Structure 1
Amino acid sequence: MIAINNLTFEIGARALYDEANWHIKPGDKTGLIGANGTGKTTLLKLIVGDMKPTGGNISMSKDLKIGYLNQDLLSYQSDKSILHVAMEAFTRQNELHGEIENLLKKLETDYSDDLLHKLSDKQHEFEVLDGYNIEFKAHEILAGLGFSEEDQNRPLAEFSGGWRMRVMLAKILLQAPDILLLDEPTNHLDLPSIKWLESYLQAFDGAIVIVSHDRWFLDRVVNRIVESRKGKLTSYAGNYTFYTEEKGMREEIQRNEYKNQQQKIKQEERLIERFRAKASKAKFAQSRIKMLDKMDRVDDVDDDNPSVNFSFKFSKQSGRHVIRLEDVSKSYPAIKILSHSSAVIEKGDKIALIGANGRGKSTLLRIIAGAESFEGECITGHNVTETFFAQHQLESLHLENEVLQELQSFAPKHTETELRSILGSFLFTGDDVFKKIKVLSGGEKSRVALAKALTADANFLILDEPTNHLDIQSVNILIQALNQFEGTFIVVSHDRYLLDNVANKIWFIEDQKIKEYPGTYAEYEDWQSKRVITAPKQPIAPPKKEEKPAAKPHQHTDDKSKQLKKLNQSLQQIEEKIALLETEVKNAELELGQEGIYQDMAKLNSVNERYQKAKTELQVTQADWESLAEQIMELEG
């Protein structure tokens, strides 16, 4: 489909790619990953021809249809409705529609056979291209991306950058290309829209290349990972979780090879040193020196996953109640956010505030931070000191300051060594700390702002979308930092991997009330899916009371024992089924990991279909197991 051969691309004296190779095959769903600055976006631009390689080549068939979503599309402007903009994807259908309209107008005065034949031909082509359904398709995709019926008729110019990007994504999806190149597609999406996009991409027949820092999203969509690192492209046959496991194994093998080789080199050097001075052994020593010179040296493994090695300090411990919201109401002219809602944040709470855009997540954070007017009370507890991180705070960084200066002016109680340690954890090492803020990328500025927030003498953190512009490596650092933080925090983020790893409570706004789920994000998702599935469509009438003969004293116990026995038998059968399905999924993954399978499309589709079917069945069966286990626990209790 697309062959990248010995690709070299240089920026000044720096080689971003150095003889890199990658073949994208039909049906590949690839996550293109790597630290910021390793050239992921540049590679997409090279593929579509926006940039030219310094060396090597990128080849593809001339009729290959590419859909490319990039951040430059934010600058697209139009006064037409977003429905009209999305439907611009149907170029030929729109041309035919215009031609048919013109022919119908001419037929009002000209009844010639020639015109009738032309109209018939155009209408036939329009029908073959499914032209009568294009508006329905556009409606469907825009709705999936979070646009209401009313929104779809509003001009594009009225929407913010993030929403405009969604329209551009809809337009690209409607073009039904052979391959999708998506650069950070989840950046401007809320959780419901991300889940919709996951489902859409899972069912997409063509190839996909996704640049994303959202590892949860990658796990659900891709079947291959390509890592851009040190000018090379390394492929892994599996999703992101498979990549981390496989890379760990490869690194362990490399580390052992390096240690063994270093040990051998030291032994040879000792032999050479021992016999070099002896004339009778000089020839032997020279041969060993030549052997060492010719040896292919194994590199040691670079640690790409720095750990957070600083402790958070705050001078005061907060009281038990950090924040109390009492009878809070908040509305805007067009929407009511909260109505007489109450909630409590207690010391040690790690809260993830989730929900669709427009539900009031950021508004609620501003209410808690005291930066938003509202009705009701927001009572801050004893000894609570807070810091508020939001994306607009990147603008408050002092552009002429160096990175280290910025932290020193904000946290004067910390020593330079402590601040350097903190900046090192956020990937600012060596002379990086002397870079001026004004030359930093968006992601680097985010890391500086986060470092500032975490050095504040605060026992309560309020974090609004802290992962925007961060790569996977930086998100992992933030997760470590938040897990080490001994205070309280509330965070809004669409990065589900972060939420699942840091939160012990989930808040969501429903029916204009703040509601709470006491558990992790994964547990909340499971609970929510069951809640949606099992919710009755109409009220169920209570059972009628029937007179029953008095039960014998031991009858209830007997019934309970029989029920438990039956449930345990069912549980055992389900466990056996889970074991079989897990084996089936693993075997399919191994087959998909073999390079040869991509030469046989029929086999690839068959294995992929088997894999998806087994994976879905496994998820359903695991949910059945959990439900049965809960019933058994209730009976045994």
Structure 2
Amino acid sequence: MGSISLRNAGLVASDALFSNLNFVIGAGDRVGLVAGNGRGKTTLLRAMAGQGELSTGELVRSRGLQVGYVEQDMPPASMGLTLYEMVLAALPEAERASESWRVDVVLDEFETPEALRHRPLSQLSGGWQRIALIAQCWVLQPDALLLDEPTNHLDLGKLFQLENWINQAARNIPVVIASHDRQFLDATTTRTLFLRPEVSPLFALPYSKARLALAELDEAAELKRERDLKEVSKLRKQAAKLTNIGINSGSDLLVVKSKYLRERAEKIESTVRSVHKDRSGEIRLGNSGAQARVMLAFDNVTVSNPVGEKLFVIDKLHVFQGDRLVVLGRNGAGKSQFMGLLHRTINGQETPGIRVSPQIVPGYIDQAMSFLPDRISLLDYITSRFDVGDQRSMSLLAAAGFAPERQDRPIGTLSLGQRARLGLLALRLQAPNFYLLDEPTNHVDIAGQEQLEAEILSHGASCVLVSHDRSFVRGLGERFLLIDKCKLVEVETPELFFSSMAQETTL
């Protein structure tokens, strides 16, 4: 069995992302890697895979260890391949003819329909592209597995499959998972590493329990810091008093003692550390308000796919001001089609059976933040799209995590996490009173998810939400709509749906 060992490992970009990292990952370890966007998770995974370098320290892999690394994004060069061809291409060329059966075995593990196996990746959903990346890695039978945001774009069914697969097929090898999905980390990891610039705490606990332990550690550190600073202040006051007395009395002994107290204060002060605060950029929303009680009303509405095929029917439904509705359903049931229909209708499209309050001011984001233009800069986008002025735009972008020197970069150069934060800033500046959120937490780090949830709750904003993130759904949802047997029905909680999806998973 192999292992990966880090000794005094560190990474410095414009500032230190982490330092003095010391830990060993061995057989059966499943480590959750947690940090904000841009705080070094991907770089660390790439270094562990042998595809990048750290700034300091050393990283040692067992001799002959074959590391499987699943990146966040599908390489553009692979998009023209079929799913089957992409996985096959991972095998050494000389073995592809004789070992092609291994591709079928792996695709069977992930319950890949035969029709999808020979379809170009460019025609597949983001979820199936993600499965293709994992299958391409697994077909080589790696000795260790590194997964970078593996749940992005997965529907709930595939997410449960991936959980079971990690806990069964990959249970005996070292696994490191960088993820913002709190429930997924709880289900798949046994250790949690919080990447921080100075000290990166590692707990032999899954995420939620580790988060509580981290909070206790931070609280104890803050109390110690306060005690130390009080002691420093006390010593400096004593030293100043003794200095004055010593000078006035001509006592060299008091002057020496005063110097000793100052040195002691400096020594304590040099060890005092600030308690770590997540610096992923703020997420803020609002609620411009409305007087209407009923925001949307549905009466015998049919939701169809782009080619006109019926997906489901809504008999009667009222959405009231302040409602927080979560739309549940299997992949392909029509959740995103429903969100798109709502968006078009609220923006003026005539849709039989849907009545829209004229007081609605909509704010809409889709999974890909597709409304963001790629070619203009962040600053130009905010100043041209919203009437807030240059200085205010720069301040807003900085607060969202974009330093001034980076605000002139084209939006197309942003990472997925940065695009998500820019999209959420744009959503805020629209000043809506009704939010349509289609997978809003894709690529948003945990701190950002919690801020987004808190903002919606604190402002009493009306919203319709689609999300595969169970923690987000449970924390935010108030009413739950399930697409089931071609009808949209209201259910009391999402738990029966979650349970049924988990029971159907047979990976």
Q: Same fold (TM over 0.5)?
A: yes
Corresponding position of 1:631: none
How far the C-alpha of 1:41 sits from its partner, in A, is 0.6
**2:71 paired residue number:** 70
Equivalence map 1:334-353=2 (5 Å): 336-339=310-313, 341-353=315-327
Is 2:113 the partner of 1:148? yes
- The yes-or-no answer on 1:454 pairing with 2:428 is yes
Is the 1:483–1:502 contact (alpha carbons within 8 Å) kept by the matching residues of 2?
yes
Once the two structures are superposed, residues 82-120 of structure 1 have per-residue CA deviations (whole angstroms, 9 ceiling, x without a partner) of 34543556669956837xxxxxxxxxxxxxxxxxxxxxx
2:258 to 275, 280, 285: 285
Any unmatched runs of 5+ in structure 1?
99-130, 534-637
The answer to whether the 8 Å contact 1:74/1:164 transfers is no
User: Which of these residues, 5, 8, 11, is aligned with residue 6 of structure 1?
Assistant: 8
Match of 2:231 among 251, 256, 264: 264
Match of 1:249 among 209, 213, 216: 216
Q: Which amino acid aligns with 1:285?
A: S
Contact kept, 8 Å, 1:226 with 1:235, in 2: the verdict is: yes
Higher relative contact order (CA 8 A, sep 6+): 2
Q: Match for 1:292: what amino acid?
A: A
Counterparts in 2 of 1:449 and 1:407: CA distance versus 1, 3 Å? farther
Q: Counterpart of 1:122?
A: none
Mark the CA change 1:45 to 1:384 in structure 2 (over 3 Å): closer, same or farther: same
Residue 484 of structure 1 deviates from its aligned partner by: 1.7
Contact kept, 8 Å, 1:506 with 1:524, in 2: the verdict is: no
Q: Is the 8 A contact 1:460 1:488 kept in 2?
A: yes
Instruction: State TM-score, norm by structure 1.
Output: 0.68
Q: Is the 8 A contact 1:308 1:481 kept in 2?
A: no
**Is the CA contact 1:2–1:25 (under 8 Å) kept in the aligned structure 2?**
yes
Mapping for residues 422-441 of structure 1, pairs under 5 Å: 426-427=400-401, 431=404, 438=411, 440-441=414-415
Q: 2:145 matched to 1:180?
A: yes
Q: Is the 8 A contact 1:38 1:231 kept in 2?
A: no
- The answer to whether the aligner puts 1:389 opposite 2:365 as a matched pair is yes
For 1:437 and 1:325, the matched residues in 2 are separated by 44
**In 2, are the aligned partners of 1:343 and 1:514 still within 8 Å (CA)?**
no
CA deviations on 1:551-583 (whole Å, 9 max, x unpaired) are xxxxxxxxxxxxxxxxxxxxxxxxxxxxxxxxx
The CA deviation at 1:253 is 0.9
Q: What residue number does 2:379 align with?
A: 402
Residue aligning to 2:39: 38
Assess, with a 3 A threshold, how the Cα gap between structure 1 residues 80 and 425 changes in structure 2: closer, same or farther: closer
SS in 2 for 1:188: coil
Partner Cα separation in structure 1 for residue 135 and residue 315 of structure 2: 36
Distance 1:301 1:432, change over 3 A: farther
| Aligned-pair Cα RMSD in Å | 3.6
Indicate if the aligned counterparts of 1:81 and 1:156 stay in contact, CA closer than 8 A. Answer: yes
| Structure 1 letter corresponding to 2:455 | A
Structure 1 residue aligned with 2:353: 377
Matched, 1:443 2:444: no
Change (3 A) 1:376 1:149: farther
Shift in alpha-carbon separation, 1:532–1:401, aligned structure 2, 3 A: closer
| CA deviation vs aligned residue, 1:616-635 (integer Å, no higher than 9, x gap) | xxxxxxxxxxxxxxxxxxxx
CA distance in 2, matches of 1:455, 1:286: 56
Alignment coverage as a number of residue pairs: 490
Shift of residue 387, structure 1, vs aligned partner: 2.0
Cα 1:328/1:501, change in 2 over 3 Å: same
Query: Could you tell me how far apart the structure 1 residues matched to 2:286 and 2:497 are?
Result: 29
Give the structure-2-normalised TM-score: 0.84
Between the aligned partners of 1:530 and 1:181, the Cα distance in structure 2 is 24
1:516 aligns with 2:481: no
**Higher-helix-fraction structure:** 1
| Equivalent of residue 360 in structure 1, options 293, 311, 334 | 334
Rg larger for: 1
Q: Gaps (5+ residues) in structure 2?
A: none
| Change beyond 3 A, Cα 1:68–1:401 | closer
Q: Deviations over 1:453-492 (max 9, x none)?
A: 2343422111112112211111111111111232311011
Q: 1:398·1:406 contact (CA, 8 Å) conserved in 2?
A: no
Structure 1 residues 358, 303: CA separation in 2 closer, same or farther (over 3 Å shift)?
A: same
One of 122, 143, 167 as aligned partner of 2:132: 167
Cα distance, 1:380 vs structure 2: 1.0
- The answer to whether structure 1 residue 191 and structure 2 residue 156 are counterparts is yes
Q: Tell me by how many angstroms 1:396 deviates.
A: 3.7
Residue 39 of structure 1: CA displacement?
Answer: 1.1
Distance 2:24 2:194 in 1: 13
Q: Equivalent pairs: percent with the same residue?
A: 22
Q: CA deviation at 1:233?
A: 3.6
Change beyond 3 A, Cα 1:335–1:152: farther
Offset at residue 321 of structure 1 (A) = 4.5
Query: Is residue 312 from structure 1 mapped to residue 289 from structure 2 by the alignment?
Result: no
Secondary structure class of the residue paired with 2:110: helix
1-side partners of 2:283 and 2:11: how far apart? 36
Offset, 1:501:
0.7
Query: For the residues of structure 2 that align with 1:501 and 1:169, how far apart are their CA atoms?
Result: 30
Matched AA of 1:74: P
Distance change (3 Å), C-alpha of 1:16 and 1:401: closer
